[in-house]
Structure 1
Amino acid sequence: MLSRVVVETALALTGLLVLYAVVPLRGFGSVSAVLGLLGSVLGAGLMVAWQARQLLRSPFPMLRVVRALTMSVSLFLVLFASSYASESLAGPGDFSQPLTRVDALYFAITVFTTVGFGDITPVSETARIVVSVQMLLDLVVIGVVIKLLLGVARKRLSEQEG
């Protein structure tokens, strides 16, 4: 079962990164970019809720929770990276340097991990707002999503034991 979960997760992550690499990005205006990002984050939240339901039926809830967290965090980061790359296309001066897709993913990861090397910084108000939204949602992902999924997995484990 463990090898199956590892393979499925690796394939899903590969698919997500391939989509990120090939889906055309357009430079969006600031309002449409923010609305699109918020809609995407809402969709990611619905995916977390669906995964929590799946955990309740899983014979191996802890393996499922690892997959759910891996996919949820990866999707979250790719959504913000797409937003940063699109924003950089629309306004090359929105960040301290123009962002490629790799730069945008790197930046999203450094913001999520709170490392913040400072080599890429948001310059425009729009970019600062989007980065601030990511920082706030990072706290939600770390504090709420992880606790929710682990709680559901523990509940399922106790049901299996009793």
Structure 2
Amino acid sequence: MERKAARHRRRVLLGHFLRATASVVLLTGLYYLAPLEGGFGILTVLTLVLGLAAFGLLTAWQVNAITRAEYPRLSTLEAMATAVPLFLFVFSATYFMLSESIPGTFSEALNRTDALYFTVTVFATVGFGDIVPVTGTGRVLTTAQMIADLVVVGVIAKALFGAMKAGMRRKGGAGQGTPPFVDDDEA
């Protein structure tokens, strides 16, 4: 019976890991394949607004799903592995389109990888060095991302982890005194 439980635990962990990995791979592929060469304009603003709306809807759906999940801790990690990359790719796509349509917005022209690098740099708050926003538009967009980063790190993460705690309570307090992400009740 112990062996069967261990197999089940490994299968559950693997399933959550594979879904999270597949989400990141799919989002990365979509980012690099999406037709973003339209330049900065109403389409760029619409992309940013719709992308952030999709992020908000995804997060709300994930919060609800986590509270009902069989394994709330693993579901929370899986949700973060989907939501954070989506958030970063939305801003990265916007920076790429801005750089392409308004040369000189940044200290250097941004390709998709450079735009992703810049986005992660802003998100991680490690500061600027090699790529910086130079124009007012670039600085406004970067400031908007910084504010949104605070919301993501503070409010969204709190909501996801609050949902995880609610899911754990729903399961009857599983996880008391157990490792932080996976325990026998959860996998």
Structure 1: how far apart are the matches of 2:166 and 2:43?
A: 40
Conserved? CA contact 1:48–1:145, under 8 Å = yes
C-alpha distance after superposition, 1:79-111 (max 9, x if no partner): 001001111110121110000100000000000
Report the equivalent of 2:56. 45
Q: Which runs of 5+ in 1 are unaligned?
A: none
Structure 2: how far apart are the matches of 1:27 and 1:110?
A: 25
Report the equivalent of 1:130. 141
Report the equivalent of 1:75. 86
Task: Indicate yes or no: 2:110 matched with 1:106.
Answer: no
**Identity value in percent:** 39
In structure 2, the residue corresponding to 1:161 is in which secondary structure?
Answer: coil
Displacement of 1:77 after TM fit?
Answer: 0.3
Conserved? CA contact 2:88–2:116, under 8 Å = yes
Conserved? CA contact 2:122–2:146, under 8 Å = yes
Structure showing the higher helix proportion among its residues: 1
User: Which 4+ runs in 1 deviate beyond 2 A?
Assistant: 26-36
Conserved? CA contact 2:39–2:98, under 8 Å = yes
Report the equivalent of 2:170. 159
Structure 2: how far apart are the matches of 1:98 and 1:82?
A: 14
Structure 2: how far apart are the matches of 1:85 and 1:51?
A: 28
Task: Indicate yes or no: 2:21 matched with 1:5.
Answer: no
Structure 2: how far apart are the matches of 1:30 and 1:156?
A: 43
Structure 1: how far apart are the matches of 2:40 and 2:81?
A: 31
Aligned length: 162
Report the equivalent of 2:127. 116
Conserved? CA contact 2:40–2:100, under 8 Å = no
TM-score (norm 2): 0.83
C-alpha distance after superposition, 1:10-38 (max 9, x if no partner): 11111110111111112433454234312
Structure 1: how far apart are the matches of 2:43 and 2:139?
A: 16
Report the equivalent of 2:183. none
